[in-house]
Structures are given as C-alpha cells and as structure tokens.
Amino acid sequence: MKILVPVKRVADPDNANKVKISEDGLHVTSEGLEGKPNPFDEYAVETALRILEDGVGSGNLRGEVVVVTIGPEDASREVRQCLAMGADRGILVVGDDERLDSSIVAKVLAKLVEKEQPDLVLMGKQAVDGDSNQTAQSLAQLLGWPQATFAGRIEVPADLASAVVTREVDGGAAKVKVAFPAVISVDLRIVSPTGVDNTVCGQKAYQEGPRYASLKGIMKAKKKPIDQITMDQLGVDQTLKVRTVRFTAPAQRKAGVKVDSVETLVAKLRDEARVL
C-alpha cells in the first residue's frame, strides 16, 4: 500500500503572534521564525506510519509513505524531518506560498496522485497559517475519490483496502467507511494513543502525539531521496482564484480590571456588565 502525505511548511506555530505585516500591508513576514511542518500534517505523517507499521513503533512498514511539499527549495528540510520520523521518500514541488491558493495546491496534488498512484492521501485538516481547511476536500473532488475529513480515529483492516473513520464533527462523532483510494484529513485526536487501529498491531497503545525522530532515523533520512519538480513540469495552471489583497492586524481586546474576590466579581457581573 502506498500513502501520500502532503506536508506544508509553516512558520513556527508556537510563535504565530510574532508574524509581522509589511508596511504596505501586502505581505506577512515570518522572519526570524523557524520553519516547521504544519502540526496537522505532522499528525498525518504519524498516522500513515501507524497504519502501515507491523508493530507499535516498529518502523517496519507494510507499504510506502511518500511525503510531498510545495514550497521553496529549502523546504526540503521539513520533508527531511518527516523522513526521519520514518517516511520513505520525499517530493518537493518548487513553489512560492504567496502565489498559491487551495485550488492550485489541490491541482498540484492531483497531478502527483496521477503519477504516484497512491491508495490513500492523508493530510492535516488545515494549515495553521492560511487556516483555510479546503485542500483535502478539493483534492478528493478533483480525483473523484471519497473523502473523510477531520478524522479523530482510523481503523484499517488487515487487507488495507478500506478504512473506518471516526470524524470529529459538531455535536459528536460521525463514523464512515471509505473504500480506497480515498482522501482522509486528520484532526488532533488522531495522535492519541489509540487513534489508529491497523488490526495487526493489536491492542497495544502508542505514546501521545507524533513520534520524535530517533538518531538512527535522522541518519537514515539523510540517504532517503527527495525528488524535485516544478509546477510547470506537472502542467498545472497557476492562475490564482483567490487573492489576498491586503493584510491587517485584527482588533485587539483590551485588558479590563482585576477584581480581588469572587464577591466583587459577582457584583461587577451583575451591576456593571449586567450578564448575571
């Protein structure tokens, strides 16, 4: 089985408050911030490994995990991080984030799917910079494949031909069964200890969160191939459908007052704010 995992490089999300808007309002700059794999995409890499592993954390995959990114050439660093976790190889599609929208990204991925013929595309539900939450769904449409978005749990039978996906939706969880090939987008609970059940690993539980690369993994990753390709070579129309015309700082809430006791708080809420 082959799983394709698209991974976007984002500015360190733990310091998202440090991104700056250029003076002309036309760009967001993240200078000085470290690039990181988009957290939800990193969860997708972990999920792909858990689906294919023959034992909890064994690293022996019953298939291939291919990581793809669209970004500048040095985004190969983030791809390499995913290879160090245990993915087999990488593809870097050279592109400039400011000249991409979800539609172009979905089209690039559709072309790669045509080339690579994966059984499953597994990706984060959204990138934490653009926060659009569109690409997986759009890709599924372009491919004519079923989609299971916001996966909090995935069960895959031993034959690796389908998945039962528990989707995190408003008011609860919806369960669907998708036949492969399919597109699945993952939510954060997927990396809980029992987020993935691939049947062969049995009841054993994983550690919470995506795995850290081992030293051995990092050494091995240095030798794993990352193919580079351009959007022109893939024959993708790069006309933007959605353009960001300017960036602005959102209105901030102001700090109010500190109260010294519950009694004062209740009095303020009743008499001043009138919410009780």
- Pairing status of strand 147-155 against strand 162-169: antiparallel
Report whether 47 contacts 186 (CB < 8 A): yes
Q: CA 148 to CA 126: how far, in whole Å?
A: 14
Query: Cβ of residue 215: shortest distance to other proteins, in angstroms?
Result: 26
Q: How far is the CB of 164 from other proteins (least distance, A)?
A: 7
Q: How far is the CB of 193 from other proteins (least distance, A)?
A: 9
Q: Which residues are within 8 A (CB) of 136 and not within 5 positions of it... i.e. 6 or more apart?
A: 121, 123, 125, 147, 149, 183, 184, 185
The least CB distance from residue 180 to other proteins, in Å, is 9
For other proteins, the closer CB: 49 or 178: 178
Nearest approach, Cβ of residue 223 and other proteins (Å): 34
Spell out the residues 6+ positions from residue 107 whose beta carbon is closer than 8 angstroms to its own: 142, 236, 237
Question: Which residue number, 76 or 192, has a Cβ lying nearer to other proteins?
Answer: 192
| Nearest residue (CB) to other proteins, 25 versus 202 | 25
Cα-flanking dihedrals φ and ψ of residue 24, to 5°? Answer: -80, 0
CB nearer to other proteins: give 83 or 191: 191
Nearer to other proteins, 215 or 257 (CB): 257
